[in-house]
Amino acid sequence: MLALCRQVHVYEYIPSSRQTDLCHYFEPHINAACTLGAYHPLLYEKLLVQRMSASTTPDDLHQGSRVTLPGFSTVDCGGGGIAAPSATP
């Protein structure tokens, strides 16, 4: 979606103050691995999303539960001597 949209809203990916260890809201199974990852640590992905977020403060993320990510078309990587591919051949 980041390649298609100017911004993407993601809900509860960064655990908010409402976070629980329930895997699904509709069943009583409790497991912290559902939020933090069991097969590979989701912590690094969540930290990357938190850094990419357009939210102003960490409190915005943890209280509001919504992360707003800028779309790739809106990100300025500073060039670094690498030219973007041309749309024409």
Instruction: Give per-residue pLDDT as tens, 25-73.
Output: 788 888 777 766 766 677 788 888 888 887 666 666 667 678 888 999 9
Which residue segment(s) compose the domain that 27 sits in? 7-74
CA 14/CA 10 separation, integer angstroms: 9
Residue 30 lies in a domain: yes
pLDDT greater at residue 71 or residue 22: 71
pLDDT computed for residue 3 by the predictor: 92
Count how many domains the chain has. 1
Question: Is residue 38 assigned to a domain?
Answer: yes
Evaluate whether residue 89 is within a structural domain. Answer: no
Residue 88 placed within a domain: no
Q: Is residue 1 part of a domain?
A: no
Task: Tell whether 33 is covered by a domain.
Answer: yes
Cα dihedral 31, 37, 43, 45 in deg (nearest 10): -140
**Nearest in space to 61 (alpha carbons), one of 6, 17, 1, 8:** 17
Question: Does any domain span residue 31?
Answer: yes
